């Protein structure tokens, strides 16, 4: 199965290892793509776990999961990657 993040890679070789806690993203692009996949799958725990500590609230897991499951995720477009900045567009239907 092709990865949800539109990388054109297999899910098992792209975001799944991060979501299953088998490895950690080594680039900001990998992190952003894995977070998008987590939204598609409704994995609020991963989203909270990968949020900067000062903005991390365990109580948000359920809210994130509820939101993620309330929309239809249509795709991800990476526009630009430079150093630690990833510019992207995430598409969804409300």
pLDDT tens for each residue of 29-65? 999 999 999 999 999 999 999 999 999 998 999 999 9
CB 89 within 8 A of CB 77: yes
Q: How many domains does the chain have?
A: 1
Rg (CA), the chain: 13
Mean pLDDT, the chain, integer: 97
Task: Give the chain's length.
Answer: 94
Distance linking the first and last C-alpha atoms of the chain: 25
Classify residue 89: in a domain, yes or no.
yes
Task: Provide the CATH number for the domain around residue 36.
Answer: 3.10.450.50
Classify residue 63: in a domain, yes or no.
yes
Confidence at 90, pLDDT banded by 50, 70, 90: very high
Q: Which of 10, 6, 77, 59 is nearest to 37 (CA)?
A: 6
């Amino acid at each position: 199965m092709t990865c949800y993040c539109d990388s054109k890679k297999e899910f098992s070789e792209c975001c799944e290892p991060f979501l299953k806690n088998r490895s950690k993203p080594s680039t900001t692009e990998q992190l952003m793509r894995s977070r998008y996949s987590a939204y598609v799958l409704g994995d609020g725990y991963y989203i909270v776990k990968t949020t900067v500590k000062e903005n991390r609230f365990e109580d948000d897991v359920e809210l994130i999961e509820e939101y993620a499951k309330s929309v239809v995720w249509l795709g991800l477009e990476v526009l630009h990657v430079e150093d630690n900045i990833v510019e992207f567009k995430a598409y969804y239907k409300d």
